[in-house]
Structure 1
Amino acid sequence: MGLGVLAVAVAAALAGNPFSLGVAAGEITTNTAFLWGHATPGPVRLEVARDTRFRRLVLGRNARADAKRDGTIHVRVAALLPGRTYFYRFVRGRTASAIGRFATAPQPARAVTVRFAVSGDADATPAPGTSGPVYNHFEVYSRMAAERNAFNINLGDTIYSDSEVAGTPVALTFAAKWAKYRLNLSLPALQRLRGSTGIYSHWDDHEFVNDFSVPEFGDDLYKAGAEAFLDYAPVTYSSARGLYRTFRWGRNLELFFLDERSFRSAKETAGGTCDNGGAPDLAPTAPAAVRAAFAALVPSLATPPPAACVERIRDPSRTMLGESQFTRFTEAIARSNATFKVIVNEVPIQQFYALPYDRWEGYEAERKKLILFLKSNVSNAIFLTTDTHANFVNDVRLQTLEPGGPMDSGITEVITGPVATKTFADEIDAVTGKPGSGILVSGLFFRPAPPRGVGMRCVAPKVYSYAEVSVTTTTLTVTEKDAAGHVVTDVAGQPCPPVVMQSSAR
């Protein structure tokens, strides 16, 4: 247990308050919600009301803080009214938890403006021997809460089982992962985010370990990571569907959450297939001219990538989603009559070549299959993504620098974050061993238009950030913002322009 978590627990115990770590309302629909709390083990009572003083009580239910689930409380409530604001709390005796707030979704036929924010990648780990977090105090989460949105999304790496903070142990067991969740939730900003409005929570790899897949790391680690996540996040999960689910918000918006960990094939790097100079090749699918241009910065690029590596990247038998999820998702999004379809995506699908192995680029055949399906069958779709620790915006191209030139899909991806961990620029610096190389690569390769680069519309690889989204009847707008709520500035020194998508009928 981190010192910050210990201090919170001790303070609560001394005050006689059994509740700690805030509250949360997840999986919001028109008439249901999944409510979460945390307390010392034992019985509690849930109260749901239309006012903050709980005089207009609409629901009361007995529940329990479960010792087998680290004192977490989980209650699903139904028979709520669409488009209404509710307040909730847990009570034991005369002591109550923090008060949470959420709004139910409007009915599918109602055309209302919906606003929400998304970010992810948050690590509150302190340096060994210290008590405060290394990176920051989750100021991004505070700003997201301050937007007063209909809901927010905490997308991936909601803990770091294997923190990038040097000298810290890897959390591999239930107990160790529980401690990571308590550590993050000891920061008031995360409690504020989860309690201020509805929250959709989703995992990525660090809830397990970095670049996780079941074939590479095994069922036991998957079980520990999944169950600890389910204890601390109010989400819906099944072994058949994983975390795949959809949520409708009126006529204008439907959300599609993809599970990109439960069913994926092993990465192509398994068994050292992609090693070049003792480590995985930095850009195995980049054209030879691009590799040659950056060989002075990364000497291993002067050597061609292993042919077996490139073959495995393109292998059509390898999958990111698994066949069942791919079918379920594509059928659902094709029949959706929502004006805008937001694909909540754990790992990037746009093409930028550098270290592609854990991203959609590392599963190239399925990536192209999905892009072609969406291009042909779905209008007004957009990918919202975290994972990369940067702000990158671009078309989800079928190809960019390959022979024949760029092939746009007309579908945009917005990558945002992180909340609190190493930024993309810092990670590239660590790979190359040369400070400043992350900014240099971003400016020289990610921003210039093809064929000199990949032509991203926003390139901001060194800023803690989130994406603020507004959806109306005719327009979806995404604005990348920093921890102070200001528009993110890219490597060229200019504000990243908002992504504005006008509705169109197919």
Structure 2
Amino acid sequence: MKVDRRAFLAGIAAAASGCVPRASGEFPIGVASHVYGPTNAVLWTRALTATRLDVAYWREGLDESMAEHFEAEVKDGVVHAQVEGLEPNTRYNFLFTTADGLRSDVGSVRTQPPVDSLVPVTIGATSCIKDTHPDDALAHAATRSDLDAFIFLGDTIYADRAITLADYRREWLQGLAGPGYRALRGSTSLISLWDDHEVYNDWEATRVNKNRLSYGQQTFIDHQPGTPVGPMWRKLSWGATVDLFVLDSRSERDVANGIYISKEQAAWLIEEVRTSRAMFKLILNSVPISSFDSPLFALFAKDNWLSCPAQRDEVLQGLEDTGATGVHFLSGDFHFATVGRVSPEGKPGSKLMEFLVGPGAQNPNPSPTYPSKPQWDFASGINNYATFAMEPEKRLMTVKYHRGDGRVLFEAEYPA
């Protein structure tokens, strides 16, 4: 349906004058964004009935009347609006408006810094978010103004009950509706990994219902502001400060043949880390790669990296052999937070750190009583999110784990 440009602008003017609601039920799960490169962003929303929307964006600190506008098509209920020509390392506000003046939440996003720049970067992360649980940890993260991006490390919703495409779309509508979740998704650039619950529990590529996988993957991509068209694994860079290596630890898995990620993905990861010029190199991993010396964790080995020990050792040894510094894993899935060495002394991975984060809004795992020194420095089952503040001038990364009430559970510094 063609929408007259004047109708859009008239609706926007009416909204600005207070004649229509500031945030409409037309946009039930708010807005989100994703930056790729110093001057580009994707602005996202889900609309219930509109077929086209006006997209407005403006530099933070300027009045909304200074906004740039363009029209975007709503496809399958969602919008992925591409914006180019932005200023690097600059925060923008944005919103969507229907032809009759119904407005979305106002979102916020900071573009990436110039390619070779060394500037401070702060990234947040959590995992495992279920809509039946309080999302106060997410709400607290949403109040921060220092986050350049936020990472969801898998189990972004729990869609296990879904069978049809309509079921999955309904699960996403419900799963993202929490006030804290909605606020956090609108507050900064998002990076999302999938794990199993976006489709159903413990699926892997060699034993999965193909229809449910197709529907689960489609709706996961539909509800993220930035996901690739091809392989789910990719690299994102914030100047020369940090490279993020996003792994797909689910859809290439073939445990019967010792494959946790494809050989192509494993080779890509090692080579990208080897050639990275970034001071910090964070590997985003939906399921922990660390070993846990407890019989309790052996019960879950079939669904984590320990189910493919030869490939795990090969990847870890390959990463250590690169000689790269500032390499750390960020992982989710286990419903508790830990900080420690990937492996005990003398084994592949003993020189690498892993930071397990979350749950963001889920039942805690009682297992944090088991990880202990010398391999582990910290463990907690309280709902949480973590921040990773990288300061190039000091060559340090400060890691903090936060409760929903703002209290800090753990804090430490790690050199590049």
Scaled by the length of structure 1, the TM-score of the pair is 0.72
Kindly indicate whether residue 404 of structure 2 is the aligned counterpart of residue 483 of structure 1: yes
Aligned to 1:346: 286
Deviation, structure 1 residue 95: 2.4
- Where 2:64 maps in the other structure, the secondary structure is coil
For the residues of structure 1 that align with 2:169 and 2:63, how far apart are their CA atoms?
32
Aligned to 1:364: 309
Aligned to 1:391: 337
- Where 2:175 maps in the other structure, the secondary structure is helix
1:75 to 74, 81, 101: 81
Aligned to 2:54: 45
Residues 154 and 201 in structure 1, CA contact (< 8 A), matched pair in contact too: yes
Residues 27 and 236 in structure 1, CA contact (< 8 A), matched pair in contact too: no
Residues 202 and 303 in structure 2, CA contact (< 8 A), matched pair in contact too: yes
Residues 137 and 384 in structure 2, CA contact (< 8 A), matched pair in contact too: yes
The structure richer in strand per residue is: 2
Residues 30 and 104 in structure 2, CA contact (< 8 A), matched pair in contact too: yes
1:235-384 to 2 correspondences below 5 Å = 235-239=226-230, 241=231, 243-265=232-254, 267=255, 317-352=257-292, 354=297, 355-377=300-322, 378-384=324-330
- Residue 108 of structure 2 aligns to which amino acid in structure 1? R
Deviation, structure 1 residue 18: 2.9
- Residue 95 of structure 1 aligns to which amino acid in structure 2? L
- Residue 27 of structure 2 aligns to which amino acid in structure 1? F
- Residue 55 of structure 1 aligns to which amino acid in structure 2? S
For the residues of structure 2 that align with 1:382 and 1:17, how far apart are their CA atoms?
41
Distance change >3 Å, CA 72–CA 223, structure 1 → 2: same
1:94-493 to 2 correspondences below 5 Å = 94-124=101-131, 133=132, 135-136=133-134, 138-148=135-145, 149-162=147-160, 170-239=161-230, 241=231, 243-265=232-254, 267=255, 317-352=257-292, 354=297, 355-377=300-322, 378-397=324-343, 409-425=350-366, 438=367, 442-443=368-369, 445-449=370-374, 455-460=375-380, 462-473=381-392, 474-488=395-409
Kindly indicate whether residue 62 of structure 2 is the aligned counterpart of residue 56 of structure 1: no
Deviation, structure 1 residue 205: 0.9
| Residues 146-180 of structure 1: CA deviation (Å, up to 9, x unaligned) | 22212211221111123xxxxxxx11222112111
1:84 to 53, 74, 90: 90
For the residues of structure 2 that align with 1:235 and 1:213, how far apart are their CA atoms?
23
Residues 28 and 198 in structure 1, CA contact (< 8 A), matched pair in contact too: no
- Where 1:214 maps in the other structure, the secondary structure is coil
- Residue 90 of structure 2 aligns to which amino acid in structure 1? R
For the residues of structure 1 that align with 2:281 and 2:400, how far apart are their CA atoms?
17
Deviation, structure 1 residue 54: 2.3
For the residues of structure 2 that align with 1:177 and 1:392, how far apart are their CA atoms?
31
Distance change >3 Å, CA 61–CA 392, structure 1 → 2: same
Residues 313 and 348 in structure 2, CA contact (< 8 A), matched pair in contact too: no
Distance change >3 Å, CA 334–CA 448, structure 1 → 2: closer
Deviation, structure 1 residue 335: 0.7
What RMSD, in angstroms, separates the aligned Cα atoms of the two structures?
2.1
- Residue 145 of structure 1 aligns to which amino acid in structure 2? A
Aligned to 2:17: none
Deviation, structure 1 residue 319: 1.3
**Structure 2 segments unaligned to the other structure (5+ residues):** 1-19
Aligned to 1:127: none
For the residues of structure 1 that align with 2:274 and 2:208, how far apart are their CA atoms?
34
Deviation, structure 1 residue 193: 0.4
Equivalences, count: 384
Distance change >3 Å, CA 448–CA 249, structure 1 → 2: closer
Aligned to 1:20: 28
Deviation, structure 1 residue 83: 0.9
Deviation, structure 1 residue 344: 0.9
Residues 190 and 226 in structure 2, CA contact (< 8 A), matched pair in contact too: no
Deviation, structure 1 residue 364: 0.9
| Residues 391-438 of structure 1: CA deviation (Å, up to 9, x unaligned) | 1121112x56xxxx766631100101001222211xxxxxxxxxxxx4
| Residues 193-241 of structure 1: CA deviation (Å, up to 9, x unaligned) | 01112111221110011112121113322211100111111122234x1
**Structure 1 segments unaligned to the other structure (5+ residues):** 1-11, 125-132, 163-169, 269-316, 426-437, 450-454, 489-495
Deviation, structure 1 residue 189: 0.9
Q: List, as ranges, runs of 4+ consecutive aligned residues in structure 1 with deviation greater than 4 Å.
A: 405-408
For the residues of structure 1 that align with 2:372 and 2:244, how far apart are their CA atoms?
29
| Residues 1-58 of structure 1: CA deviation (Å, up to 9, x unaligned) | xxxxxxxxxxx99x97533311100144311111111212311111121246322234
For the residues of structure 1 that align with 2:402 and 2:224, how far apart are their CA atoms?
25
- Where 2:182 maps in the other structure, the secondary structure is helix
For the residues of structure 1 that align with 2:156 and 2:261, how far apart are their CA atoms?
21
Residues 316 and 348 in structure 2, CA contact (< 8 A), matched pair in contact too: no
For the residues of structure 2 that align with 1:262 and 1:382, how far apart are their CA atoms?
23
Scaled by the length of structure 2, the TM-score of the pair is 0.87
Aligned to 2:12: none
- Where 1:200 maps in the other structure, the secondary structure is strand
- Residue 143 of structure 1 aligns to which amino acid in structure 2? H
For the residues of structure 2 that align with 1:123 and 1:469, how far apart are their CA atoms?
24
For the residues of structure 2 that align with 1:420 and 1:194, how far apart are their CA atoms?
14
- Where 1:334 maps in the other structure, the secondary structure is helix
- Where 1:96 maps in the other structure, the secondary structure is coil
Residues 87 and 99 in structure 1, CA contact (< 8 A), matched pair in contact too: yes
- Residue 258 of structure 2 aligns to which amino acid in structure 1? R
For the residues of structure 1 that align with 2:193 and 2:70, how far apart are their CA atoms?
27
Distance change >3 Å, CA 171–CA 17, structure 1 → 2: closer
